[in-house]
Chain A
Amino acid sequence: MDLFLQQTVNAFALGGTYALLALGLAMVFSTMGLINFAHGELMTIAGYILMACGLAGVPFAFSILLAIAAAVLAAIVMERIAFRPVRNASGATMLVTSFAVSMILQVLFQNFISARSQAVLVPEILSESVRFGGLVIGVNKIAAIVTTIVMLIFLDRFMKHHRIGIAMRAAAEDFSVARLMGIRANTVIAGAFALSGFLAGVAAVLWVSQRASVDPLMGFTPVLKAFIAAILGGLGSLRGAVAGGFLLGFIEIYLAAYLPSGMQEFRDPIALCLVVLVLIFRPNGLIPSPALKAEKV
């Protein structure tokens, strides 16, 4: 029982990080139909800022802010330079563009920083753990869970009550009609990118504080997972992205905990088979996006 609870906490921590990343992907996808594979590089940028701040002796709390700000800025610049010119192009064009952005950034990191993994100075407290009855929970896990909850509440409020949040939901459902109302396409899309950068920055801080290192390909795996989570939840659906992120986190952690040791190397294939199984029964994901529903009616 203790092992189960322990693993459940781990699943919430990992799933929460996936959920934040998947949300970022879903926001951009729902507003402009772009699957942004360069989302992972936003994480990496935030990771390098944390590293640089550590080297420069900047207090960790302050470097977190800088790292997140850098990811937001990078996301806005990315949209302006790389994605605005292909905004009305086909989904395939945008997808390839995002691959190109991702590759270019990876090469820049490799050549101008280092191809090798760099250590990031993370405060001691994050690697300590706290005892709750029979449970031993890492401070970084608690931080991840609390951060995820705070972020989800913040985003929910923003999308429900802020003018731009409501406009983003409207645009996700019907972009042309939203424009007719006077909602500027640039505002909505830049807003979606800024928020996705914000989420990627937060996820990067959580990711790096578990590993205490950053490398040029750091963003690749988590964003690939987040992409799977977004599809699992229903591509373009914000609630779906959160549900998919948590579900994937749970699948991965429980498989790692309960699969017999001889089967552990098949963990990822088994996890993906489970994802496929869900999609067979719910082809549009757990919580399909409103745009999809609107098309069907």
Chain B
Amino acid sequence: MSALLTVQSLQVQYGAVNAVRGIDLEVREGEIIALLGANGAGKSSTLNALVGLAPASAGKITFKGQDVTGSAPERFASLGMTLSPEGRRVFGTLSVQENLLMGAYSMRDKGEIKTAWERVFDLFPILRERREQFAGTLSGGQQQMLAVGRALMSNPRLLLLDEPSLGLAPKIVEQVFELISVLRKQGVTLMVVEQNVSMALEIADRGYVMASGRIAASGTAAELRNSDTLQAAYLGAD
């Protein structure tokens, strides 16, 4: 299968700060890609640039064969690429149900929404129980499930997860990783930014390691596990 997402020489600049300095990435249909690197390496900026939340100052992003560089964020849900952002960012003053409904905002067909709804509730039965509750009153783990569920409501072909295990108890972290495998079985392609490198490389097919806004290493998960570059990237050496 050919590439679902291709990124060529992508650069992201915030004022004088070069967060991403020209990277190339490729995600093929059905893969799980781990995007690794120390804090400030440019991982979140990369994901944000992919969905138009951060401005791409140079480079080209191609999704499903379409040039989507510089598209507005609101276009991506209907194109089939969704980001579940860092820090969960559920709508705390909306109920669980309303959060999910917003996730399906790009869909018009009532039947399609209902199917998406059932799928999310099957994945996360706890959300069905709490659907009337304000999202802000859920626990951290439940909020993470809601954030992923909300992103799944638009039936994405490619789901971008930014730090899905951040700040969660170890047991919940395991659930999150199990979920990623389940999603792959359902045919979702995933790109995951993770702090938990060993777990990420266990489930990923391939990975990219970023350092100072560049790709420092890339390869299959097995290759990366045994690579020195990975450790160097985390220690901050170039």
20 contacts between A and B (CB under 8 A): A163-B101, A163-B105, A166-B94, A169-B91, A169-B94, A170-B91, A173-B93, A176-B53, A177-B85, A178-B102, A180-B76, A180-B82, A181-B102, A181-B150, A182-B78, A182-B105, A183-B74, A183-B105, A184-B72, A294-B92
In the complex, which residues of chain A have a beta carbon less than 8 angstroms from the beta carbon of B106? 181-182
In the complex, which residues of chain A have a beta carbon less than 8 angstroms from the beta carbon of B85? 176-177, 180
Does chain B have a CB within 8 A of A282? Answer: no
In the complex, the answer to whether B103 meets A181 with C-beta atoms within 8 Å is: yes
In the complex, which residues of chain B have a beta carbon less than 8 angstroms from the beta carbon of A170? 91, 94, 98-99, 102
Residues of A in contact with B (beta carbons under 8 Å apart): 163, 166-167, 169-170, 173-174, 176-185, 290, 293-294, 297
Residues of B in contact with A (beta carbons under 8 Å apart): 51, 53, 72-78, 82-83, 85, 89, 91-94, 98-99, 101-103, 105-106, 136, 150, 154
In the complex, the answer to whether A166 meets B74 with C-beta atoms within 8 Å is: no
A-B CB pair tally, cutoff 8 Å = 75
Closest Cβ neighbor of A174 among chain B residues: B89
Contact of A166 among B76, B82, B102 (CB under 8 A): B102
**How far does the Cβ of B135 sit from chain A's closest Cβ, in whole Å?**
10
Given A176-B53, A180-B51: A293 touches B74 (CB 8 Å cut-off): no
In the complex, which residues of chain A have a beta carbon less than 8 angstroms from the beta carbon of B93? 169, 173, 290, 293
Q: How far is the CA of A169 from the CA of B103 in the complex (A)?
A: 14
List the 3 shortest-distance A-B pairs measured between CB atoms, nearest first. A182-B106, A182-B77, A290-B93
**How far does the Cβ of A156 sit from chain B's closest Cβ, in whole Å?**
14
In the complex, which residues of chain A have a beta carbon less than 8 angstroms from the beta carbon of B74? 179-185
In the complex, the answer to whether B98 meets A166 with C-beta atoms within 8 Å is: yes
In the complex, the answer to whether B92 meets A173 with C-beta atoms within 8 Å is: yes
Q: How far is the CA of A167 from the CA of B91 in the complex (A)?
A: 10
Q: How far is the CA of A236 from the CA of B83 in the complex (A)?
A: 27
Given A180-B76, A181-B150, A182-B154: A167 touches B102 (CB 8 Å cut-off): yes
Q: How far is the CA of A247 from the CA of B65 in the complex (A)?
A: 58
In the complex, the answer to whether A179 meets B72 with C-beta atoms within 8 Å is: yes
Q: How far is the CA of A163 from the CA of B104 in the complex (A)?
A: 11
In the complex, which residues of chain B have a beta carbon less than 8 angstroms from the beta carbon of A297? 92, 136
Known interface pairs A176-B73, A182-B106; 14 further A-B residue pairs with C-beta atoms within 8 A, sorted by A's residue number: A166-B94, A167-B102, A170-B99, A173-B94, A178-B91, A179-B53, A180-B76, A182-B74, A182-B75, A182-B77, A182-B78, A290-B93, A293-B92, A293-B93
Q: How far is the CA of A243 from the CA of B119 in the complex (A)?
A: 41
In the complex, the answer to whether B82 meets A174 with C-beta atoms within 8 Å is: no
Q: How far is the CA of A206 from the CA of B83 in the complex (A)?
A: 46
Q: How far is the CA of A199 from the CA of B74 in the complex (A)?
A: 28
**How far does the Cβ of A234 sit from chain B's closest Cβ, in whole Å?**
13
